[in-house]
Structure 1
Amino acid sequence: MASTRHLTQIDMFRLTLKNSLRHFVRNRLFTFLNILGLTIGISACWVIYRYVRFELSYERGLPDKENIHRVVSKISYSEEEGSYSAGISRPIYFFLKEEPVRSLKRAVPVYKIWGRQVMIPAHGKQAGRLEDLDFEKNMLVATEPAYFEMVNYRWLAGNQHQALRNPDEVVLTEARARFYYPGLTFDEMIGQPLIYEDSLQHTITGVVAALDYPSEFNGQEFFLVKKREQDNTLEEWTNTNSSDRVYIQTKDDKAAAEVLEQINSTVAAKYKQLTAKRELKGTYHRTLELLPLQASHFSTFLNERGQSKTSRTVIFGLIGVGVFLLVLACINYVNLTTAQMPQRHKEIGIRKTLGSAGRHLISQLMMETVVVVLASFLCSIVVSQVGVGLLGDLMSEESRAFADPETLVIFLVAVLLVTTFLAGMYPAWLITRVNAVAIFRNKASGRVGNLSLRKILIVFQFVIAQVFIVSALIVGQQLRYTLQKDMGFNKDAVVTVAIPFKLYANPQVHEKKITLANEFRNIPGVKELAMGTEPLSENYSSSNFVYSDAPNLAPVGMQVFKKYVDTAYVQFYDLKLLAGTNLSASDTTKEFVLNETAVRAFGFKNPGDAVGKMLGYMGRRYPVVGVVSDFHQQDFHQAIQPLTLLSGKTSLSAYNIRLDGSDRAGWPATLAALKTTWGTFFPEEMFSYHFYDESIAAMYKKEQQLHKLTNLSTGIAVVISCLGLFGLASLTAFQRSKEIGIRKVLGASVPGIVRMLSGEFVMMVLLAALIAAPVVWWACNKWLEDFVYRIEISWAPFVLGGVVAVLAALSTVSYQGIKAAMTNPVESLRND
């Protein structure tokens, strides 16, 4: 008996599957649209999951990560709110190392090194070679052996407890070790030499495998940190380098707070000694804070070169986008499936008459849903890969290669089950409500389920689509504003060439650098040239400056950004000189040119009042000879800060070259000539240039990625919404077929019928636009709060977004409207 029942269940399954396939064949268009909509929704959800899972996996495999914190700096001037720096003063680590600090388990420095080149001596059959080092990619780090106690590397060669005990040792990651000595085993690499910057020889004492989880501990070559002479000076306690990071590990948060209290107490005491020594009025305020390691990857308020950052808001927004797109796809399936219900009335009636129970009808619809969802899932495997390509650099190489198969399987199974349930349950329940008797008595109205509910779903779909459309427009406006707004300097046709650190810091080549600049100026196609740090860049430095000449007032000391430039710099970038004169030619610092913000910060009422005043800097006093108008030194997330321009041959770190803007076709030849000339002066150094406007655009990479993401999401949401609208329009046309037939008999035109059917849908889309407007306004204003310099949201994006949505709706509905209007009225009125 059990066997018979088992066979009956299999037969029922086969019959249900066969009926489903027949239904798909008879309704090819709707089947295609259903699969298309669900494929888009599942693919979007899949791609977003891959990205989000990677970003949330940072430090996942690090032991005791809950009790590891970074020490970061918060700097403010006067009563200003202040800004954060990723680094701290270098002496703080040595204080933690040398002084008894209660509650501290370990302190670990991670000081990045600006290495440029490394020599790999000849070994065996392999010739010696010289390799360039990239600060962003190669990541040289000065640290302590405690680093390897905190971070759980797997050692491939060497001994963790013996490696990195001496200044002339180096530990490499697996990738760097294979790059330097490809023909040796890891054990054979131990003891091999590497020569950095021509003369610094180090011996390999360890090789570690790459971490198998995303991490901000991305160093690849590790050296022993050294204490310098200046690390004992009071001045060094006020300096901050964002590349100098310190981590502390304690037993719990309470212990971490105790350590921080001791650090801040010591720093405050050192600064008090400095202000007393210089008799300063304190306008520079600095405190140290703890940043939990698990929050470090999301600390977008910290500007760190070589570190990947992601906003938690963006992550949660992406999760919301994925959920909404999947829900939209399910709503689209519901609308398209229920739109076919009137055409299946007789089939349903016959099944009920022949004794089909409600559960059999439900199983039929659920089987159809399962088949469509599985087909969509299979299509999503391909479409999701295309989607990853469309995202471009939004997904890093690491996130694309990131694998977490167990969690991925769980996610995909959950998506399949949730999608099947959301998409299939309402149509399955709806099919049981059909009255078979009314159908065979010709009293069935063609109405299936609650039409108002379907309209609400359509409005909801277009609310989401409208949110994406308007958001994309506003993000695009802000991005254009940041790139097109007058930044206070002329960046057109400018090429920048960075001077390698070992060259601009080497006093023996200073004259050679100046001679090369003059040679560059003589190259055809070079319009003008200046040396110095670019006006707007990710690299910046600051020092304490003091004004002490104000009568009856204590000296004013403040942290001021500084840029070392030559005499051509002000004219090159078209900086407006408001008072005084430009810098005079000098090998060393002898005078200052301030910006307007610095003038106000020191208490001068107008630019002219600052000219001739003396400022203290590095223990000496120099005059202010000029004042230039403000220009942006950092991106638009940051306010313009006090700044001074000053001379100093030893610190001129880049050539700024303006090409002939009237002869763009000649630029390649000019750049080739620049490279050739560079090679005659510094043949061992690589010539590397960047167009300055592209460098500025790269600083807004996150905003460009967000714009790309909102554009893609907008397209997906509009397509899915239009598919749902197509289903509802089909159902409406079917239900009003007799009305349309009568109107045609009475002389109604095709355009008139199309307008009649379209008007209701246009009103639904406009209602969606009204509902979405306050949501978009609030969300975009929250996003824009991160910008000090931002656009004001106007009505234009909302109107344009509404127009786009209405046009999309009209193009979708018009097809069904024209089809219904062109139908012979005899067909719809035959039964009456």
Structure 2
Amino acid sequence: MFKNYFKIALRGFRRHKLFTFINIVGLSIGISAALVIYLIVHFDFTFDKFHKDSDRIYRVTTDYSFSGEVGHNGGVTMALAPALNTEATGIEQVAPFYLYWEVNVQVPNGSNTDSKFKKQGGVIFADEHYFELFDHTWLAGNKKNALKEPNTVVLTTKQAKIYFPKLQYANMLGKQVIYDDSLKTTVTGIIEPFTQNTDFKAHDYISFITGTTDHYIKGNFETAEWGNTNSASQLFIKLLPTASPAVIEKQLNAMLTKHNPPKPEDRGNTQGLHLQPISDIHFDQVYGGFDGVRTASKTTLYGLLVIAAFLLILGCINFINLTTAQASQRAKEIGIRKTMGSRRGQLIMQFLSETFLITFFAVIISVGLAPVILKLFADFVPEGITVNILAQPDLVVFLILLTLLVSGLSGFYPALVLSGYKPVTVLKNQSATNSSKSRNAWLRKSLTVTQFVIAQFFIMATLLVSKQIYYALHKDLGFKKDAIVNISTPFKSINTDKQQVFMNKIRSIPQIELMSIGGAPPSSGSTNSTTVTYKDGKKEIKTDLQQKFADENYLNVYKIKLLAGRNLRPTDTVGAGNIIINNTYARILGFRNPNDAIGKQLGYNGKQKTIIGVVADFYQKSLHAPIKPIAILQPKSNKWNNRTFHIALKPQTAGGTEWKTAIASFESIWKEVYPEDDFEYNFFDDNIAKFYTAEQHTSQLLTWATGLSIFISCLGLLGLAIYTTTQRTKEIGVRKVLGASVAQIVTLLSTELIWLIVLAFVLVTPLAYYAMQKWMEDFADRTTISWWIFALSGGGMLVAALFTLSFQTIKAAIANPVRSLRSE
């Protein structure tokens, strides 16, 4: 029976090749999008789900508020972990670890040239409790005591093979690994890395106790200060099965208050601890993930699902429209089948089998297209996503379910309509009844409107996102961003003469206009802040104040406007206590006129500092974040905030290579001064553009979704136009014989469909406006939602529709009427 269904279906496809092609293309586009989006969403939502008792594992994070400025930190004070072990209840496991960031690694190999590895990420300090919480397979060493002693390290198999490529795992034990030239460790364990999706990508685990004894990093492990929070200090806990997260969180905050009681001057300022489920870390946009680890956005993933659903719906709408439009052509077939004894259920199965076959072909095409799409969106798609049917059983299940779902959505209603015709009526008139025609026409119109609502929504969203990105990249941010190069010298050379040597050598490069040395540029991803107080005689104002460390040339390199007072001078050393503040901070202190702030004293880390200048506000981060109070001051005496060169280049001639020559000179001098370190530089405006990478990806995705939705909608429109002109062939012939012009006939055939597009525009405009406003709320500074976005969307869709319709309507209008009227 099923064999017969498919044979009949294939015959029908051959008779109606164009409609079959349109249906397969429309469905394959929607299914391809759904398949790729499934791979992305499934990939991100499976992160760190595999850990034993993962529902009881939490990261402890810190929230704080200073003078209304709210902040969040993924780390905690290092004093918390030992206190939990002695004072807390309801906690089964406490596992602190410390992120070591990028380090240089040296592996002695017994020869004159040791193996060296630069800027290795994935190095952390941990103890034996870490491996009790996150269970790895051990290939060498003992989990219980591998990290109990100072100066020991556990390696993953992948990293161990990099360090000791010729040794067996057991023979690696006892070997030495040196970090940043001074921290010498002994290998005590080899473990298998996680093969599942995880954000825990560390591969070098140095014993935690090493950090409290090694002179090089001992200061970072200071546990006496409960008020200090460090994002590198991470703490994970595992609750007892009977413990409540809310109760434990309350207990933690009580401990924090006990050990760090609020002072009278801290009134209005708060600090608290929060439990973050381990499953939330991969999607965290507030506290941040781990160094170098990508975080996903649930909003983006849900948006992808909506796009996939829309594209699938568009394909299904095309199928329903074209199938019901063809109903009259199959009415006689249905009547004969029913007369010969076919039951309605059998006819429904016949039509569903046809739909299933078309969907199956579309799925096959989609599987072939998926790898191509993944390559097209390589910048957007996370690494590690592949299409391998044989190795991904979940993907096979998804495709089967998707095939059944699309077959049901596309075929069920047409099957009901077609199978419901009465044999007497259709055989007498060789067509469906007028009521059926009317019902089907209204359905087709409704579905066509839905198609163009979706397509125009995508157009409007794409235009707005592009407008916001353009606004962000071209807005006056309060500083110059073009033709400025940033070069940071290595940490290990900060307190040496090499930095001065490098600076003296590059001064002679003719392409340099001006140069400054200090900390981070005006706008960057890093944040350095401290708590500052100001007493105006009546009250004390305590504020979390961001800091930019700079010399006297910093303001001139970035063209930051000085509103009052003076610039920094070479004589303004740290001891002099002179600082510049921005206008936002001046207003927080109560000064409406910037000049009134000059000479005022601030309580600054236990010392007094004098305000010598006020600069105009500038953005310290992207437009997502508001401008915050900030101070510009000389770098600290230890020079940790004095390692970045800010180099303003002279204007480049049209088609010139002056900047390229300057960069080559920088690199040549770098190799002379720092032969062991790689030369890296950044153009400042490129770093600003990176703030909006997510928006640029969204714009790229919306552009593709818009193009596909327009293409699918126009395919459906073309199919309907072909059907309409075919049905009205004789009417067109009569009108031409009676004197109707080509333009009049084209207008006649197009008017109804054009009005459907206009109706779709009216319906989608308020929906799109609301959605745009919600998306724009994520920006502290944003562009306006201009009227031309809607006008361009509606006009563009109308032009595309007219262009699509013209192929068929003009062809029908210029056809010889003799051919259509010959049989009359």
Please state which band the TM-score falls in when normalised by the shorter chain.
Answer: over 0.9
- CA separation of 1:291 and 1:14: change in aligned 2, threshold 3 A: closer
- Alignment of 1:370 with 2:356, yes or no, is yes
Superimposed CA distance per residue, residues 130-170 of structure 1 (whole angstroms, 9 cap, x where no aligned partner): 21024xxx222122221111112222222211211123011
Q: Show the counterpart of 2:373.
A: 387
1:399–1:284 Cα change, 3 Å: farther
After superposition, give the CA deviation of every residue in 1:243-271 in whole Å (9 maximum; x if it has no partner): 33222221258543343333323433454
Q: Give, as a single letter, the amino acid of the residue that structure 2 aligns with 1:567.
A: E
Offset, 1:715:
1.5
> What is the aligned counterpart of 2:559 among 555, 565, 574?
574
How far is the alpha carbon of 1:443 from its aligned partner?
6.1
Corresponding position of 2:306? 320
Alignment partner of 2:189: what SS? strand
Task: State the 1:39 CA deviation.
Answer: 0.8
Once the two structures are overlaid, the 10-residue window that deviates more, 461-470 or 111-120, is 111-120
Q: Is 1:611–2:598 an aligned residue pair?
A: yes
Indicate yes or no: 2:511 matched with 1:521. Answer: no
Change (3 A) 1:245 1:770: farther
Number of the residue aligned with 2:706: 714
C-alpha deviation, 1:617, in angstroms: 2.2
Aligned with 2:403 (options 400, 413, 416): 416
1:184 partnered with 2:154: no
Residue 202 of structure 1: how far off its partner (Å): 0.9
Q: Which residue of 2 aligns with 1:470?
A: 460
Matches within 5 A, 1:230-629: 236-252=225-241, 254-272=243-261, 275=263, 280=265, 282=267, 284-304=269-289, 305-348=291-334, 351=337, 356-400=342-386, 405-434=392-421, 444=431, 448=437, 450-504=440-494, 507=495, 509=496, 511-532=497-518, 533-548=520-535, 550-553=536-539, 555-585=540-570, 588=574, 590=576, 591-629=578-616
How far, CA to CA, are the matches of 2:80 and 2:597 in structure 1? 36
In structure 2, the partner of 1:672 is 664
Name which of 31, 51, 56 aligns with 1:42: 31
Distance 1:433 1:113, change over 3 A: same
Native 8 Å contact 1:521 1:527 kept in 2: no
State the alpha-carbon separation in 1 of the partners of residues 693 and 757 from structure 2.
34
Q: Which runs of 5+ in 2 are unaligned?
A: 213-217
What residue number does 2:150 align with?
A: 167
1:130 aligns with 2:120: no
Check if 1:755 corresponds to 2:747. yes
Unaligned runs of 5+ in 1: 1-8
The CA deviation at 1:211 is: 1.4
More divergent stretch after superposition (208-217 vs 534-543): 208-217
CA distance in 2, matches of 1:401, 1:39: 16
Inter-CA distance 222–559: structure 2 relative to 1 (3 Å threshold): same
Q: Which residue of 2 aligns with 1:85?
A: 73
CA distance in 2, matches of 1:668, 1:90: 46
- Quick one: distance in 1 between partners of 2:77 and 2:621? 22
C-alpha spacing 1:37/1:230, structure 2 compared with 1 (3 Å): closer
User: Offset of 1:690 from its aligned partner?
Assistant: 1.4
Note closer, same or farther for the CA distance 1:180–1:703 as it changes in structure 2 (3 Å cut): same
RMSD of Structure 2 on Structure 1 (CA): 2.5
Q: Residue 734 of structure 1 corresponds to which residue in structure 2? A: 726
Quote the offset at 1:116 in angstroms: 2.8
Matched AA of 1:92 = L
- Matching of residues 656-667 of structure 1 within 5 Å: 656-663=646-653, 664-667=656-659
**AA aligned opposite 2:98:** Y
Q: How does 1:68-79 map to 2 (within 5 A)?
A: 68-79=57-68
Conserved 8 A contact 1:78-1:285: no
Asked whether the equivalents of residues 115 and 197 of structure 1 are also in contact (C-alpha less than 8 Å), the reply is no
In 1, distance between residues paired with 2:248 and 2:694? 35
Contact in 2 for aligned 1:88/1:242 (Cα 8 Å): yes
- Corresponding residue of 1:6: none
Provide the secondary structure at the position in 2 that maps to 1:153: coil
| Pick aligned residue for 1:771 from 763, 770, 786 | 763
Kindly provide the amino acid, as one letter, of the partner of residue 626 in structure 1. G
Other-structure match for 1:4: none
The letter of the residue matching 2:60 is: V
How much does 1:32 deviate?
1.6
- Say whether 1:193 aligns with 2:176: yes
Q: 1:422 to 1:552 in 2, by over 3 A?
A: closer
CA–CA separation in structure 2 for the residues paired with 1:589 and 1:175: 49
Is contact 1:169-1:224 (8 Å) kept? yes
When the two structures are aligned, how many residues end up with a matched partner? Answer: 804
Greater mean deviation of Cα atoms: 209-218 or 263-272: 263-272
Query: 1:327 aligns to what SS in structure 2?
Result: helix
Say which is worse superposed, 316-325 or 757-766, in terms of deviation: 316-325
SS at match of 1:397: coil
Preserved CA contact (<8 Å) 1:445 1:735: no
Distance 2:521 2:365 in 1: 49
Counterpart in the other structure of 2:50 = 61
Between 347-356 and 60-69, report the one with greater CA deviation.
Answer: 347-356
TM-score of the two chains, using structure 1 as the length reference: 0.91
Counterpart amino acid of residue 557 in structure 2 = F
SS of 1:399's equivalent in the other structure is: coil
- AA aligned to 2:617 is D
Deviation larger for 358-367 or 565-574: 358-367
1:308-359 C-alpha deviation (Å, 9 max, x unpaired): 2222222222222222221221111122233333444455555556555545
TM-score w.r.t. length of structure 2: 0.92
- In structure 1, what residue type is equivalent to 2:75? G
8 Å CA contact 1:87, 1:243 repeated in 2: yes
Question: Does the CA-based 8 Å contact 2:33-2:311 persist in structure 1?
Answer: yes
Query: Counterpart of 2:412 in 1: which secondary structure?
Result: helix
Corresponding residue SS for 2:384: helix
Query: Higher mean Cα deviation, 299-308 or 633-642?
Result: 299-308
2:805 equivalent to 1:817: no
Match of 2:215 in 1: none
Letter in 2 for 1:516: F
CA distance in 2, matches of 1:186, 1:111: 26
User: In the alignment, is the contact (CA less than 8 A) between 2:105 and 2:179 conserved in 1?
Assistant: yes
CA distance in 1, matches of 2:701, 2:104: 38
Is 583-592 or 213-222 further displaced after alignment? 583-592
- Where 1:528 maps in the other structure, the secondary structure is strand
Structure 2 contact 96–127 (Cα < 8 Å) conserved: yes
Deviation at 1:446, TM superposition (A): 9.2
Alpha-carbon distance between aligned partners in 2 of 1:292 and 1:380, rounded to the nearest angstrom: 36
Does 2:774 correspond to 1:789?
no
Deviations 1:98-118 (A, max 9, x none): x42122222222321134311
> Quick one: which amino acid aligns to residue 240 of structure 2?
K
Task: Give yes or no for contact 1:494–1:692 (8 Å, CA) kept in 2.
Answer: yes
**CA separation in 2, counterparts of 1:120 and 1:74?**
40
Q: CA deviation at 1:653?
A: 2.6
Q: What fraction of aligned residue pairs are identical, expressed as a percent? A: 36
For 1:20, give the aligned amino acid.
Answer: A
Deviations 1:476-524 (A, max 9, x none): 11122222211111010112112222222xx2x1x43133223222113
